[in-house]
Structure 1
């Protein structure tokens, strides 16, 4: 109770010391929606035979949780199309951006309307997709959000799966770890460019890697002090594990981060059947006080 009181005082002081109309508390979330594809999407992009397409009732459940999330910015992974994304996030409330990958799984971003002065979709970080010679992976979705006083660059990623905690410094790596390791310098270069521009940024999404600043993958991303809100924390989603979904926040954006705002929205339904209909990932969120 005392801790909550201190947080209330902290947030109040932040708002009082910021001139009216100059700062907004924003909820930023990431959600891997696990093969959010429709029948129409499958006509454009092939999907594995063992993927079960969701039924109307499943989309209604996801719509319920999308509304319950009440996030202002949602990074999404495994999205078939914007049209399908509209089934769980209403288009009268959100603006939508999606990568241009020629596959069924896209990175995407939903942004609540009437918050930002301008939004720019930059070129996809396609290098993340091209590291596999045999089939394309997922590109990073690169978006710049502009307020009246500042800007923030968002990179939505969904990295190579199959190497959640295997040590990357071993002389012999399994193929999935080789591909994941090859994605690291691509993100590193993207960060270097943002640092040169003095641009506040957040990398958000499904890292498919246990997020830890001491892990080789994350440790050498940059010589600036990156912040990982989910590091060393257990994710209560389904049976629980360490976070592979999360955020990398640079020092400029970290000034806006509200302490103790990390949340995971668990599903009320907990059966295996429900997991197949909802997602094997739960939405993860933080809050920012953005000028």
Structure 2
């Protein structure tokens, strides 16, 4: 049988093949974000970052622009607060199990503070396989945040995500030698995180630890960075994806929001996808910008 080759048909076939490959690649990618929403409250005019309706509208638009499949949130007051930005019709919401802690008077506006908890929002299409609330992080001090370990299935692979919000105020090179009260709490949380990760198979499994570390992990001399990277001396099992990045806050260029990856997940990471998403308005919607990373599994 004689096969007739037509140049236009050949070009069309190549375009269709490229489009198919692109769609397959997009289907396998997983886009993850971390965002400290700064005292996100359920009601207008409440808490240390009192917002109005327009502010919540802008936060919803910003969240949509991230185009993320999963977002680790910090400083959310309640399920109702999360739903103001991430509608339950579109997202699975996993809230911290920590009981409410006593409120305090906000420095700026003298209002009563809302709760500061961590949460995950996950697209409805993603299968959640397990949730582990790490209450030990909250045991360090009244009001301290617990962490959430989320397990999902993506393209038949088991992905572990750990959302943390560690104690603020311990901005030192060596947290182990500091006598600051904030560092005493931070040390307990840091040691528990290392213990928890040490029990995992970081050499083979997909692990992503993300959130507000309240620490300058991107600095080579940082002791906590060194401790995390030396969890296994036989292999480089962890990698800090936020090296060489600057935060979006004009006063604090050194980032404290980070993504820490196990080796298998690092190999799936698109390096150029790791960045902070600046706000369009000079009036920041939160004192943290969202951090994203995309993984092609």
Q: TM-score range by the shorter chain?
A: 0.7 to 0.9
Query: Which protein, 1 or 2, shows the higher relative CO under an 8 Å CA cutoff with sep ≥ 6?
Result: 1
Does 2:109 align with 1:112? no
Deviation digits for residues 105-152 of structure 1, max 9, x if unmatched?
1111111221x3x203422111111012xx131000111011242111
Cα pair 1:38 1:53 within 8 Å, conserved: no
Kept in 1: contact 2:204–2:263 (CA 8 A):
no
Out of 238, 247, 253, the residue aligned to residue 241 of structure 1 is 253
* Change beyond 3 A, Cα 1:240–1:174: closer
For 1:7, the equivalent position in structure 2 comes to none
Distance change (3 Å), C-alpha of 1:65 and 1:148: closer
Distance in structure 2 (CA, Å) of the matches to 1:259 and 1:280:
24
Distance 1:65 1:21, change over 3 A: closer
Could you tell me whether the CA contact under 8 Å between 1:194 and 1:200 is conserved in 2? no
* Conserved? CA contact 2:32–2:71, under 8 Å: yes
Aligned partner (choices 65, 68, 73) of residue 70 of structure 2? 73
How far 1:90 moved relative to its partner?
2.6
5+ long unaligned stretches in structure 1? 1-12
Q: Which residue of 2 aligns with 1:4?
A: none
Q: Deviations over 1:152-176 (max 9, x none)?
A: 1111000000012343243x52110
Question: Does the residue aligned with 2:179 lie in a helix, a strand or coil?
Answer: coil
Match of 1:93 in 2: 90
Q: Call closer, same or farther: CA 1:53–1:119 in 2, change over 3 Å.
A: same
Structure 1 Cα separation of the partners of residues 263 and 52 of structure 2: 43
3-state SS in 2 of match to 1:230: coil
Per the alignment, residue 261 of structure 1 pairs with: 273
Q: Report the equivalent of 1:3.
A: none
CA distance in 2, matches of 1:236, 1:197: 32
Does the Cα contact within 8 Å between 2:34 and 2:72 map onto a contact in 1? yes
Q: CA deviation at 1:198?
A: 4.3
**Whose strand proportion is higher, 1 or 2?**
2
Question: Relative to 1, partners in 2 of residues 1:24 and 1:148: Cα closer, same or farther, differing over 3 Å?
Answer: closer
Is it true that 1:141 corresponds to 2:145 in the alignment? no
Cα displacement string for residues 32-66 of structure 1 (whole angstroms, at most 9, x for unaligned residues): 000001249x8xxxx6xxx2432222211111111
Q: Secondary structure at the match of 1:259?
A: strand
* Cross-structure match for 2:138: 129
Deviations 1:246-268, CA, capped at 9 Å, x for gaps: 10000121121112211211112
Aligned residues between the structures: 259
Whole-angstrom CA distance in 2 between matches of 1:21 and 1:236: 30
Q: Could you give the per-residue CA deviations for residues 82-117 of structure 1, whole angstroms, max 9, x where no partner exists?
A: 222111123232211111111311111111221x3x
Q: Which stretches in structure 2 are left out of the alignment for 5+ residues?
A: 1-17, 101-114
Corresponding residue to 1:24 among 25, 28, 37: 28
- RMSD across aligned positions (CA): 2.7
Q: For 2:167, which of 114, 136, 160 is the aligned residue? A: 160
In 2, distance between residues paired with 1:257 and 1:197? 16
Q: Which residue, 34, 59, 62 being the options, matches 1:62?
A: 59
Residue 38 of structure 1, aligned match among 17, 37, 42: 42
Q: Decide which structure has the larger Cα Rg and report it.
A: 2
